[in-house]
Copies of this chain bind each other. A is one copy, B any other.
Amino acid sequence: MSHNTFGHLFRFTTWGESHGPAIGCVVDGCPPRIALSEADIQYWLDRRRPGQSRFTTQRREPDRVRILSGVFEGETIGTPIGMVVENEDARSGDYEEIKDKFRPGHAEFTYQRKYGIRDYRGGGRSSARETAMRVAAGSIARKILGPSITIRGAMIQMGPHRIDRESWDWDAIEDNPFWCPDRAMAERWEGYLATVRKQQSSTGAVIEVVASGVPPGLGAPVYGKLDADLAGAMMGINAVKGVEIGAGMGAAELSGEENVDEMRMKDGEVEFLSNNAGGTLGGISSGQDVVVRFAVKPTSSISKPLKTVNVQGEEVDIATLGRHDPCVGIRAVPVGEAMMACVLADHLLRHRAQCG
């Protein structure tokens, strides 16, 4: 049992506060003889890195990862992989105002109540900065999964604006700053988000992560279910408030015959005629695409003044003027992908352990 460790056999532990000297991650249980370099990890970190468009926080972190152990002559050796990223652009000065005030929607109030102390600089441990290490771990998980399993994330809703699923084009996500698979909607979001920012407000989003090529058999009854682990993984990402597998919350409105995924044979293989299950049956992967969606709440730090209290128990107002994303959901896309990769890699090893 650990508060800061994720996974069972593919397992990573992260540490670090937003404005401490560094953040880090230890990946344990990685199989040996996998080719791995810092560049492999950096590629994915760069995709998550803030400051890349005008729609994400302007904190400028190079997020340069160093591998300090577990890799020798370009290959994993089965021992723990220690990684560190320095915090370079930690302007502590920006955060003096929140030393005493609890920002609504942030974890400061609960940290203070739980621990009786907190690192108030930039959210401390509760900052989304920690998610960089999830992406680092996820990049190693992808190596374990190998090229036959593809994991891709997309933003499918921003505020009230949902993509047209008929227009889904995976190639489009590289062409806009929103990971949006619907080119027309990406343009619309650009305008929408500009307005949101102008209004000193923020907006929520929905992310969808799809894993293709997952073999049947991953996951286990009844408290090691693949979908349950995915739900925990996604809900644990900062600001996530809902998680869906396959038909998700909408399954409630379906009839049995609408919802059930019928089966036929095709080329000697079982073929499902739909995928409302989202790739799992009884908590075990079926071979279909594993489809997870999650909702990210709007950024709580907005420039409009909000009612709050301070540590002295006085009623005060607070407005956040620092560097913040109007839609934190954007940066959650690579994090969701990483968590999908980590859950699948863990279950791949768990399945191999029990079933050979």
This chain's copy number in the assembly: 4
In the complex, per-residue mask of A99-127: 1 if CB is within 8 Å of any chain B CB, else 0 = 00010111101110111111100001110
Measured CB to CB, the closest approach of chain B to A146, in angstroms, equals: 12
The answer to whether B15 touches A26 (Cβ under 8 A) is yes
Measured CB to CB, the closest approach of chain B to A114, in angstroms, equals: 4
Of the candidates B20, B114, B241, B315, which one forms a contact with A69 in the assembled complex, judged by CB atoms under 8 Å apart? Answer: B20
Cβ-closest chain B residue relative to A255: B201
The answer to whether A356 touches B351 (Cβ under 8 A) is no
Interface size for chain A: under 10, 10 to 19, 20 to 34, or 35 or more residues?
35 or more
The answer to whether B5 touches A223 (Cβ under 8 A) is yes
The answer to whether B2 touches A224 (Cβ under 8 A) is yes
The answer to whether B273 touches A115 (Cβ under 8 A) is no
Interface assignment of A232: CB less than 8 Å from any CB of chain B: yes
* Stretch from A41-49, A50-58, A77-85, A170-178 contacting the other chain: A77-85
Measured CB to CB, the closest approach of chain B to A2, in angstroms, equals: 5
Measured CB to CB, the closest approach of chain B to A303, in angstroms, equals: 9
Known: A23-B69, A231-B236. 10 other contacts (CB 8 A): A16-B68, A21-B69, A33-B115, A78-B115, A114-B219, A249-B249, A251-B295, A256-B298, A256-B304, A262-B307
The answer to whether B308 touches A263 (Cβ under 8 A) is yes
The answer to whether A113 touches B295 (Cβ under 8 A) is no
Of the candidates B29, B106, B256, B282, which one forms a contact with A281 in the assembled complex, judged by CB atoms under 8 Å apart? Answer: B106
CA distance A21 to B81 in the complex (A): 12
CA distance A196 to B202 in the complex (A): 42
The answer to whether B3 touches A2 (Cβ under 8 A) is no
Of the candidates B82, B261, B283, which one forms a contact with A236 in the assembled complex, judged by CB atoms under 8 Å apart? Answer: B283
Residues in B with CB closer than 8 Å to A260 are 104-105, 298, 300, 302, 306
The answer to whether A3 touches B221 (Cβ under 8 A) is yes
Interface assignment of A132: CB less than 8 Å from any CB of chain B: no
CA distance A23 to B70 in the complex (A): 11
Q: What are 20 pairs between A and B in contact, CB < 8 Å?
A: A3-B222, A15-B68, A17-B72, A21-B68, A75-B117, A78-B117, A104-B260, A105-B259, A110-B285, A110-B286, A111-B284, A157-B253, A199-B255, A231-B234, A238-B282, A241-B246, A241-B249, A242-B249, A251-B297, A350-B353
Interface assignment of A148: CB less than 8 Å from any CB of chain B: no
The answer to whether A241 touches B248 (Cβ under 8 A) is yes
The answer to whether A216 touches B252 (Cβ under 8 A) is no
CA distance A126 to B220 in the complex (A): 10
Residues in B with CB closer than 8 Å to A37 are none
The answer to whether A22 touches B300 (Cβ under 8 A) is no
Given contacts A115-B355, A225-B235, contact A110 B280 (CB under 8 A): yes
Measured CB to CB, the closest approach of chain B to A185, in angstroms, equals: 14
In the complex, per-residue mask of A118-141: 1 if CB is within 8 Å of any chain B CB, else 0 = 110000111000100000000000
Task: Please report which residues of chain A, range 195-223, place their CB below 8 angstroms from some CB of chain B when the two chains form the complex.
Answer: 196, 199, 201-206, 216-217, 219-223
Interface assignment of A309: CB less than 8 Å from any CB of chain B: yes
The answer to whether A356 touches B31 (Cβ under 8 A) is yes
Interface assignment of A334: CB less than 8 Å from any CB of chain B: no
